[in-house]
C-alpha cells in the first residue's frame, strides 16, 4: 500500500467514485467532498459515480446528490439498478418477480412480470417488504426453478437514524435456503465496472476506483486490475487492513485528500 507521498507513475484520466460513505454519510456531504469533485473536474479528469444504492434510480440519485450540493451529471451515475436493467435486456427469457420498492419497479416497466413462475427473482432494497410471506414466496419460486438476481449484496447501511439491514442479508438467506447462488449486479461484479468503463475513453491503467467499502469497491478494482483508493470513512474499519480481502493502492483519511495526491 502506498502512502500519501507517492504519486501515481501514470497520471490517471478518470476516477470511478463511490457515493455513500465516500462523498456523503447519513445524509450529509463529507467536509471538502463537494469541492473535491469540482477540483477533479477542473483538473480535467473524467468522473463516473458507481454506487450499490438500489433504492433509487440514477435519475433519483442525481437529484439527491444535487440537493446535497454536488455538481454531477445523470449520465455519470451508474447504479446496480441500471446494471440490472441492462442485464435483463440481454437475456432471452426475462419474466421476473421483483422484490424492490415501487419507484425502482417502475424503472423496470419494460420487463414482463410473472409472480408465479418467473425466470428470475430480482432482489433489491425492499425495506419492510422483506416479511416472512414475501421471503417464503421467493424461496418457493427459487426451489421451482427461478434464478436469483441480487442488485447488490451489502449487508447493512447507515442512515441518520441508525443502521439498517441491507438487501444482501436477505439475498444470503434465500441463497442458503434454496441452495442457489445469486448473480450480483452491483460492485464488485466485473459486468458493472465494465458498464462504466465502456463510457470512458481510457485504459484500465488510467482509471482509479475510490471508495470506502473494501469488499465491493476495492475487491472490484483488484479484480479489474485497476488502482484504487480506500478512504477511511463510511464503512471503513481499521481491522479490515490487518488481513485485507483486497489491497488498495492508497489509503486516505477521506476523499478530500485526493486533491493532494492528484
Sign of CA dihedral 203, 204, 208, 213: positive
Binding to Mg ion by residue 254, rule CB under 5 A? no
Using the minimum distance from each CB to Mg ion, give the nearer residue, 175 or 212. 212
Q: Does 212 bind Mg ion (CB under 5 A)?
A: yes
Q: Which of residues 225-244 bind Mg ion (CB under 5 A)?
A: 234
What does the block give as the cell for 217?
469497491
In terms of CB distance, is 178 or 209 closer to Mg ion?
209
**Segment lying near Mg ion (by CB under 5 A), choices 69-77, 85-93, 154-162, 206-214:** 206-214
Among 16, 18, 126, 186, binds Mg ion (CB under 5 A): 18
**Cα distances (angstroms) measured from residue 6 to each of 70, 85, 127, 198, 260:** 28, 40, 43, 29, 11
Out of 14, 15, 21, 240, the only residue in the binding site for Mg ion (CB under 5 A) is 21
Of the two residues 168 and 234, which places its CB atom closer to Mg ion in the complex? 234
Is 166 a residue that touches Mg ion (CB under 5 A)? no
Stretch of 36-44, 149-157, 213-221, 245-253 contacting Mg ion, by CB under 5 A: 213-221
Quick check: 191 and 83 in contact, CB under 8 A?
Answer: yes
Q: Which residues bind Mg ion (CB under 5 A)?
A: 18, 20-21, 212-213, 234
Amino acid at each position: 500500500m502506498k502512502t500519501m507521498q507517492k504519486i501515481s507513475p501514470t497520471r490517471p484520466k478518470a476516477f470511478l467514485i463511490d457515493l455513500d460513505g465516500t462523498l456523503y454519510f447519513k445524509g450529509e456531504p463529507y467536509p471538502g467532498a463537494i469541492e473535491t469533485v469540482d477540483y477533479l473536474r477542473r483538473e480535467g479528469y473524467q468522473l463516473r459515480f458507481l454506487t450499490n444504492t438500489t433504492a433509487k434510480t440514477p435519475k433519483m440519485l442525481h437529484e439527491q446528490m444535487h440537493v446535497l450540493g454536488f455538481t454531477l451529471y445523470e449520465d455519470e451515475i451508474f447504479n446496480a439498478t441500471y446494471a440490472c436493467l441492462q442485464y435483463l435486456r440481454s437475456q432471452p427469457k426475462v419474466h421476473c418477480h421483483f422484490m424492490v420498492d415501487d419507484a425502482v419497479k417502475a424503472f423496470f416497466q419494460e420487463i414482463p412480470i410473472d409472480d408465479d413462475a418467473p425466470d428470475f427473482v430480482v432482489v433489491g432494497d425492499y425495506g419492510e417488504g422483506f416479511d416472512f410471506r414475501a421471503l417464503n414466496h421467493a424461496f418457493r419460486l427459487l426451489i421451482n426453478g427461478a434464478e436469483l438476481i441480487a442488485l447488490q449484496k451489502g449487508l447493512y447501511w447507515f442512515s441518520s437514524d441508525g443502521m439498517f439491514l441491507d438487501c444482501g442479508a436477505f439475498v444470503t438467506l434465500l441463497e442458503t435456503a434454496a441452495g442457489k447462488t445469486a448473480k450480483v449486479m452491483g460492485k464488485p461484479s466485473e459486468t458493472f465496472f465494465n458498464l462504466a468503463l465502456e463510457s470512458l475513453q481510457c485504459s484500465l491503467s488510467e482509471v482509479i476506483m475510490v471508495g470506502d467499502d473494501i469488499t465491493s469497491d476495492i475487491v472490484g478494482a483488484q479484480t479489474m486490475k485497476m488502482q484504487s483508493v480506500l478512504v477511511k470513512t463510511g464503512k471503513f474499519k481499521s481491522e479490515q487492513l490487518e488481513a485485507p480481502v483486497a489491497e488498495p493502492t492508497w489509503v486516505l483519511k477521506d476523499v478530500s485528500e485526493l486533491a493532494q495526491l492528484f
